[in-house]
Structure formats: structure tokens, C-alpha cells
């Protein structure tokens, strides 16, 4: 399969975890390249549900290597808990996990700052996961962050952390928030550093080494295209480059070594957190929530739902260079009689075929819809393209064509076996 980048083509939670798990069968190494524990990637193996936050979803397949790349921000306490949680239920996490020494570390003051800024923004808040992601990437860009290499340099950790805590506590106090307790941070981070030390290395030569030996790499995107810091609906975005380019900068594997980009999208649209969602629709939200679906894997918040937005996915195909599409959650539309698809935006007399970058303009855009007849038949047991109802095939073909990429995978349920290769 060559080296493959897998990205979310919408606003996150497209089902990347499930598709990564399926594609890992044909890969040797799975690499996370951006984001942090704001991500929640769900994988079902038989009756066991796993939600991965920092560890690549490939960890669930034996014999595969997993890498947390330099582009990721790591909350070490959360990572230790995730490793131990997996180990406790019998998943091997040891020499099959490698962590970049240049990935930045998330500290409690990042989480406090994240929460405080959200509070201060009031109704203009972003709706972050409050995991400290924005402030941690902020420190990285400001060149004041500490990295995993610092965390595992146990002799000098106290000195480095003390300086950072002192500075950030001043900031927290100025914003009216409670400062963090240095002694506690030191104790917890020393312990986490000791635990994580054996996993931490320079992942760039590591990845180039395995590539030289013929390994096939699968890059696991987190979040989605429209949460990308540069290409998303700024400021309602996360703080990293979630799009395909991020796989290169976030891992040290150069563009010419990438062979294929897979874009994952739901058969409809969801978003969790604030910000514009042009096709948001109450009816489809109630329908999906009524089925017990579309609650966040990380924060448990109800996701906002809407019709499929082909304006957005077309832009995602362009920005990421999507070759192949994986369309998930087709079964979510099984009961809908008439399915809408957004093919353009209207703003006064103006029409848009792309997302206007001005957030106020985008928020005021009205979707232009076309409609498709539903199939009103359960699809969760379909095993092949031919078994899918004709209307479902027509719908899938149409949304792939509108997006401008080749349909490759259709997912009709959360399980591994509920996957159709087209």
C-alpha cells in the first residue's frame, strides 16, 4: 500500500480510528503526527471498545509499530494512564511504541490557561476540549515550551519546570485563575518522565531506518480538515496542522515519500464545539442522538449534526490531495426518506463554491441543497458493494463525485467486519 496519510475530511470524528484499524492490517508502522489528547479515536475489536487519545490506533494489532511523532503535543500523565489502561486489558504496549523526543509537553498550566481563556471569552468561546492544546502549541511557537527530551532528562527536569511554572503562574494570576502547585507538578512529571523514558527517542532516524528496510507507514491524522490551524474555520479550530502536510512536518518524513492520501468522511456532517457548521440541522441531530450516536469520544459532548457538505469535502480533497475516500456511518442515514447534500453556499447575491475564510461571512452562508432518495433499508449487514441498496450506491457515488475523489471504502457500522472495499 506504500506510505499512506489518513486525514479527516470534515470537522473531526469522521471515524478515522476505525479506518486506521482496518488499514493497519496492510501497514507496518502507524504514526500520529499532530494534535494531542484532544483526539478520541474509537475502535471496536469484537465486543471490546477502545478509545485512543494519544497512542496510534495501530497499537491494537499485534506486530505493528506505533510512533508518536514530533508534531504531537503530549500530556504525559494522560499518556501514562492510556498506556497502563491498555496494558491492564491485555494490549501489549512496550517496544512497539516509540515517542519523539521533540514532541512538546502539555503541563497543568496549559490546561488552566485553556479553561480560563474559554471562560473569559464567554459566548465567543471556541468550545475546546480543555486539554491545554492551544496554550501548549502556543509555547511551542513562542519557543518557550518543554519537549519530551526535557521530560526524560530527569536530573535537570526540576530546574526547567520550575522556571516555566513560575512564569505561567504569573500569567494565571493576571487572568484571575488559580496558580498551579509547583511541588505537585514536579512530583507528577518526574514520575511520568521516569515511566516514559524507555519509549522516548529521536523518531526521525527511526522512521527513516524502518523505511530503508521496506516498512509501509500509515499516518494517523487527528481532528479534521476544518479544524486545521491554517485551513480551518479560524478561530474555531485546533492549534495544529491536521491536514496532510502536517504528516511531513509532524514526523520528519518528506513529501516525496508519501504515496497516497485517504480522506475519511461521514455520510453526513458533525462538529463538536463552537463555530460555523453551514448544514447543521435539528432533525438529523435529533435522529442521530435518538439512536444514541454522535456523542464525543473525548468529552462526551453531543456533536452537532447536519447534512453532507460537499462544498467542504471538495475543499478538503483539494487541500489534502485526497486520492481515496473512506465514507463512514452510511448506516446513520438508513431511515431517512430524502437526503440533502449541500452543493454550494449562498450569501446575499453571492455564491460560494469554497469556504469563505471570513468567519462572519461563512456563518451567514445558507446552504444550497440537492436531494437524494433514501434507501430506508438497514445496511449494517451489507458485506459488498452489490449488497448495498441501489439508492445507497447512488448516494455514495454522488458524494464521492461531488468531493472529487475516488470511493475506496464504505463503512456500515463500527466493527472491523462492517467495512466494504469498493
* Owner of C-alpha cell 474509537: 42
Neighbours of 352 (CB within 10 A): 16
Q: Residue 132: helix, strand or coil by DSSP? A: coil
Of residues 111 and 147, the one with the C-beta less far from ligand IMO:
111
Residue reference for cell 502547585 = 181
Cell numbers describing residue 318: 483539494
User: Active-site residue 104, yes or no?
Assistant: no
Q: What are phi and psi of 224, to 5 degrees?
A: -150, 170
Interface size with ligand GDP, residues (CB under 6 A): 20
Cell digits of residue 339: 437526503
Q: Among residue numbers 11 through 40, which ones bind ligand GDP (CB under 6 A)?
A: 12-18, 40
Q: How far is the CB of 404 from ligand GDP (least distance, A)?
A: 21
Binding partner of 409, given ligand GDP, Mg ion, ligand IMO, none, CB within 5-8 angstroms per partner class: none
The CB-nearest residue to ligand IMO is: 273
Torsion, Cα 378 381 386 392, to 10 degrees, reads 30
35, 36, 40, 58: which one binds Mg ion (CB under 5 A): 40
Report the partner that residue 128 touches, choosing among ligand GDP, Mg ion, ligand IMO, none (CB closer than 5 to 8 A by kind): ligand IMO
The least CB distance from residue 39 to Mg ion, in Å, is 6
Q: Is the dihedral of CA 64, 85, 79, 7 positive or negative?
A: positive
**Catalytic residue list contains 41:** yes
Which lies closer to ligand GDP via its Cβ, residue 192 or residue 272? Answer: 272
> How far is CA 201 from its chain centroid?
24
* Residue among 27 and 177 whose Cβ is closer to ligand GDP: 27
Q: Which three cell numbers stand for residue 31?
A: 504514526
C-alpha cell at 354: 469554497
Q: Name which of 81, 78, 83, 82 is nearest 108 in CA terms.
A: 78
Number of residues in contact with Mg ion under rule CB under 5 A: 3
Mutual angle of helices 182-196 and 76-88, in 10-degree steps: 50
DSSP structure class, residue 63: T
In a 3-state reduction of DSSP, which class is residue 248? helix
Residue 131 binding result from ligand GDP, ligand IMO, Mg ion, none, given CB thresholds of 5 to 8 Å by partner type: ligand IMO
Q: Which long-range contacts (CB under 8 A, 24 or more apart) does 254-259 make?
A: 257/3, 257/211, 258/3, 258/4, 258/5, 258/219, 259/1, 259/2, 259/3, 259/4
Task: Name the minimum Å distance from CB 375 to ligand IMO.
Answer: 27
User: Is residue 13 within the footprint of Mg ion (CB under 5 A)?
Assistant: yes
Residue (129 or 279) nearer to ligand GDP, CB: 129
Of 135, 143, 67, residue with least CA distance to 106 = 135
One character per residue 325-364, x = contact with ligand GDP (rule: CB under 6 A): ---xx-x---------------------------------
Minimum separation from the CB atom of position 13 to Mg ion (A)? 4
Q: Which of 59, 4, 387, 407 is nearest to 199 (CA)?
A: 59
In the complex, minimum distance from the CB of residue 159 to ligand GDP, in angstroms, rounded to a whole number: 38
CB of 230 to ligand IMO, least distance (A): 14
For residue 356 the three cell numbers come to 469563505
User: Which of 41, 53, 104, 231 is flagged as catalytic?
Assistant: 41
Contacting ligand GDP within 256-315 (CB under 6 A): 297
Tell me which of Mg ion, ligand IMO, ligand GDP, none is bound by residue 413, counting a contact when its beta carbon lies within the kind-specific cut-off of 5 to 8 angstroms.
ligand GDP
Q: How far is the CB of 131 from ligand IMO (least distance, A)?
A: 5
Note the residues at the interface with ligand IMO (CB under 6 A): 8, 12-13, 38-41, 126-129, 131, 133-134, 222-224, 227, 238-239, 272-273, 297
Quick one: three-class SS letters along 338-359? Answer: EEEEEEEEEECCEEECCCCCCH
- The x, y and z cell numbers of residue 305, run together, are 449534526
The site partner of 126 among ligand GDP, Mg ion, ligand IMO, none (C-beta below 5 to 8 Å per kind) is: ligand IMO
Question: Which of 55, 97, 105, 297: binder of Mg ion (CB under 5 A)?
Answer: 297
For residues 88, 92, 95, 100, the Cα torsion angle rounded to the nearest 10 degrees is -70
Binding-site partner at residue 411 among ligand IMO, ligand GDP, Mg ion, none, CB < 5 to 8 Å by type: ligand GDP
Q: How far is the CB of 61 from ligand IMO (least distance, A)?
A: 19
Q: Which residues bind ligand GDP (CB under 6 A)?
A: 8, 12-18, 40-42, 44, 297, 328-329, 331, 411-414
* Interface residues toward Mg ion, by CB under 5 A: 13, 40, 297
Residues tagged active-site: 13, 41
Amino acid at each position: 500500500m506504500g506510505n499512506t496519510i489518513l486525514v479527516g475530511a470534515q470537522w473531526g470524528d469522521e471515524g478515522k480510528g476505525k479506518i486506521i484499524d482496518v488499514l493497519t492490517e496492510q501497514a507496518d508502522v502507524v504514526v500520529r503526527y499532530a494534535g494531542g489528547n484532544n483526539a478520541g479515536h474509537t475502535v471496536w475489536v469484537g465486543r471490546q471498545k477502545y478509545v485512543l487519545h494519544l497512542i496510534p490506533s495501530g497499537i491494537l494489532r499485534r506486530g505493528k509499530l506505533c510512533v508518536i511523532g514530533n508534531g504531537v503535543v503530549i500530556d504525559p500523565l494522560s499518556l501514562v494512564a492510556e498506556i497502563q489502561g491498555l496494558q491492564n486489558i491485555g494490549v501489549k504496549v512496550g517496544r512497539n511504541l516509540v515517542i519523539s523526543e521533540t514532541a512538546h509537553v502539555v503541563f497543568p498550566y496549559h490546561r488552566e490557561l485553556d479553561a480560563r481563556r474559554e471562560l473569559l471569552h464567554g459566548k465567543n468561546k471556541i468550545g475546546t476540549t480543555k486539554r491545554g492544546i492551544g496554550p501548549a502549541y502556543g509555547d511551542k511557537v513562542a519557543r518557550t515550551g518543554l519537549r519530551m527530551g526535557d521530560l526524560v532528562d530527569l536530573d535537570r527536569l526540576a530546574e526547567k519546570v520550575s522556571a516555566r511554572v513560575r512564569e505561567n503562574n504569573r500569567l494565571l494570576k493576571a487572568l484571575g485563575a488559580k496558580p498551579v502547585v509547583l511541588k505537585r507538578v514536579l512530583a507528577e512529571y518526574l514520575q511520568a518522565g521516569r515511566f516514559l523514558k524507555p519509549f522516548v527517542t529521536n523518531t526521525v532516524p527511526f522512521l527513516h531506518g524502518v523505511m530503508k528496510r521496506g516498512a509501509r507507514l500509515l499516518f494517523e491524522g487527528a481532528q479534521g480538515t476544518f479544524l486545521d490551524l491554517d485551513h480551518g474555520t479560524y478561530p474555531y479550530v485546533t492549534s495544529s496542522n491536521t491536514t496532510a502536510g502536517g504528516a511531513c512536518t509532524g514526523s520528519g518524513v518528506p513529501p516525496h515519500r508519501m504515496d497516497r492520501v485517504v480522506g475519511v468522511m461521514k455520510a453526513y456532517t458533525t462538529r463538536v464545539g463552537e463555530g460555523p457548521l453551514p448544514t447543521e440541522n435539528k432533525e438529523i441531530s435529533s435522529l442521530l442522538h435518538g439512536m444514541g450516536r454522535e456523542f464525543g469520544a473525548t468529552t462526551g459532548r453531543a456533536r452537532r449534526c447536519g447534512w453532507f457538505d460537499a462544498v467542504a469535502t471538495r475543499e478538503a480533497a483539494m487541500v489534502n490531495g485526497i486520492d481515496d475516500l473512506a465514507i463512514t456511518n452510511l448506516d446513520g442515514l438508513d431511515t431517512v426518506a430524502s437526503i440533502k447534500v449541500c452543493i454550494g453556499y449562498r450569501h446575499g447575491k453571492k455564491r460560494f463554491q469554497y469556504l469563505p475564510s471570513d468567519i462572519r461571512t461563512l456563518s451567514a452562508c445558507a446552504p444550497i441543497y440537492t436531494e437524494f432518495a433514501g434507501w430506508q433499508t438497514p445496511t449494517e449487514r451489507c458485506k459488498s458493494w452489490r449488497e448495498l441498496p441501489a439508492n445507497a450506491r447512488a448516494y455514495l457515488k454522488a458524494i464521492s463525485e461531488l468531493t472529487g475523489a475516488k470511493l475506496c471504502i464504505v463503512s456500515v457500522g463500527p466493527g472491523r467486519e462492517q467495512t466494504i472495499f469498493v
